[in-house]
Structure 1
Amino acid sequence: MAGFAEATAVVDGRAELDPQWTVGGRPNGGYLLAVLARAAATTAHPHPLSASAVYLAPPECGPAEVAVETLRDGRSVRQARVRLSQGGRACVEALFTLGDLATAGEARFTAAEPAAVKPRDDLNRTPVEPPGAGIRITMLEQVDQRVDLSGPGDLRGWLSFDDGTPFDAFSLLYAVDAFPPATFTLGGNGWTPTLELTAYVRGLPAPGPLRVRQYTRMVTDGQLDQVCEVWDAAGRTVAQASQLAVYRMARS
């Protein structure tokens, strides 16, 4: 069974999209973003600092081509455009800013304390086939996800790898898209395909489960926005994201 690093590896412009990291048989959007980030990273700029991706078509599991275009390669940051394609069809395209998080230092100011969440042991692990979802979330075989339905349009909880692997800058890109849609508390039906996702990686996380809050600020008949905030085991903000996604109304 491949770990996350192996499942997101890119060698000579080719990736093997792993069926372990799927929702309804399709690769998760955060997982795909981590694949593209690995292709863009270099020895001098080893970590994604920001990413903005558009999801053009859902890829299949299996071989994919990953093309990297360097836009700027400076001393402190690198900027690149990365495209993932299958059979000549573009599936995901992203812009990255990369650098070295080890030199970032500690935060001088944060606007919010870590979200209040029930203790991890008080929450049940999310099943691979959640009741009422009508979809198999295979990636939940690889992660321990525990969700607190905090209120309308607001989910909070904990996330860790099942094998105990600590999170890094790349797997944080997965973490910001790993939780169920916030519309689960509003009558949403099934998964919400991502149209655009912007993520910031703010620090290298301390070992231990991540604390996650995901909430929506506006829902229409066809779309919603979602904001995701992630704190490490030391209570430090390590990732932030926002996305625009398709919203499916529950059937009466």
Structure 2
Amino acid sequence: MSEYADVSAVTSVGDHRWTARIDPGWTILGNPNGGYLQTVMARAAVEEAAATADDGVHPHTVAVSTHFLRSPRPGAVDLSSELLRRGRTTTQVRVRMSQNGQVTGESLFTLGALGDADVDWASPELPIPGVTKDECSRYLPPAEAFPVEILRHVGLYLHPGQTAFTSGEPRGRGEVRAWVELPDGEDFTPESLLLAADVLPPATFDVTPGGWVPTIELSTYVRAVPVPGPVNVLLSAGMIRGERVDESATVWDSAGNLVAQSHQLAGIRVG
């Protein structure tokens, strides 16, 4: 297995239970990335659905909503899965992650079969992809100043004009654009798109300098199986109020197809 498939893998221990190992290399200030944790839970959801189906008709993550209760530490975690419903076009599965007897997060998954269907309609307000990856520069913050271990593994290539926040001079637009690639050229899957939709630096960095912006709730929708290659991501903030911020991400594959979207509520302190 390639690195991301390996570090997000789950092992069945029977009776709708699974184990996984949270890798310290996929953390931000020591805290595992939310999209990474969603991927781990997605592996259990997909295996739960496959174990209870004879034909495997719903092999892909289509939608997931996760509530993060506390951040697990790198190391072993336990997962439990529950099949809620199997329908003609979708299957619903609940997955709970825990560590040392404490629940760290719970996700509700909708699984289905993603294909190459044409887009029937799209709002004119829908964002469009940015520049090509060749026009972007890799962003790797110095470890001694900002220990973001995940960016030692994920390639993050910021679009031109997106680096102002790295020098403490945010533009005030609340927006970050970048290309994202997995280690060793691993192709994105519907499950690893959950990482892509949450791996960019917080869009609030383009508003006010800050540290960790912990996710409270994250909903991600996978719209299509991506073509091989890196993905292009736009992350934008909506409103900061009462030490909370909402952020939305749009993800395109290397052919310009919109393949994932996410919305989250996160904590933040301004000033």
Q: Verify: 1:22 aligned to 2:27, yes or no.
A: yes
Shift of 1:227: 0.4
Q: Verify: 1:69 aligned to 2:82, yes or no.
A: yes
Residue of structure 2 equivalent to 1:60:
73
Shift of 1:8: 1.0
| Within-5 A mapping of 1:53-132 | 53-102=66-115, 105-111=117-123, 115-129=128-142
Q: Aligned partners of 2:104 and 2:260: how far apart in 1?
A: 24
Q: Aligned partners of 1:220 and 1:127: how far apart in 2?
A: 30
Q: Aligned partners of 1:114 and 1:162: how far apart in 2?
A: 27
Shift of 1:162: 3.2
Residues 180 and 16 (structure 1), Cα distance of their counterparts in 2 relative to 1, 3 Å cut = same
Whether contact under 8 Å (1:202, 1:237) holds in the other structure is yes
Q: Aligned partners of 2:175 and 2:231: how far apart in 1?
A: 17
TM-score (norm 2): 0.85
Residues 118 and 106 (structure 1), Cα distance of their counterparts in 2 relative to 1, 3 Å cut = closer
Q: Aligned partners of 1:40 and 1:231: how far apart in 2?
A: 24
Amino acid corresponding to residue 215 of structure 2 in structure 1: T
- List per-residue Cα deviations over 1:190-221 (Å, max 9, x = no partner): 12100000000000001122111000111125
Q: Aligned partners of 2:118 and 2:65: how far apart in 1?
A: 24
Q: Verify: 1:224 aligned to 2:245, yes or no.
A: yes
Q: Aligned partners of 1:130 and 1:198: how far apart in 2?
A: 30
Residue of structure 2 equivalent to 1:3:
3
Whether contact under 8 Å (1:114, 1:235) holds in the other structure is no
Residues 177 and 144 (structure 1), Cα distance of their counterparts in 2 relative to 1, 3 Å cut = same
Where does the alignment leave 5 or more consecutive residues of structure 2 unmatched? Answer: 13-17, 51-55, 163-170
Shift of 1:231: 0.5
Q: Aligned partners of 2:70 and 2:28: how far apart in 1?
A: 15
Q: Aligned partners of 1:220 and 1:130: how far apart in 2?
A: 31
| Within-5 A mapping of 1:23-38 | 23-38=28-43
Shift of 1:116: 4.8
Amino acid corresponding to residue 233 of structure 2 in structure 1: V
Shift of 1:156: 1.1
Where does the alignment leave 5 or more consecutive residues of structure 1 unmatched? Answer: none
Whether contact under 8 Å (1:221, 1:249) holds in the other structure is no
Q: Aligned partners of 2:151 and 2:128: how far apart in 1?
A: 23
Identity among equivalent positions (%) equals 39
**RMSD of aligned alpha carbons:** 1.9
Amino acid corresponding to residue 7 of structure 2 in structure 1: A
Residue of structure 2 equivalent to 1:136:
147
Residue of structure 1 equivalent to 2:269:
248
Count of aligned residue pairs for this structure pair: 247
Amino acid corresponding to residue 229 of structure 1 in structure 2: T
Moved over 4 A (4+): none
- List per-residue Cα deviations over 1:111-168 (Å, max 9, x = no partner): 256635344233321114379xx53111111111012355510111211113111100
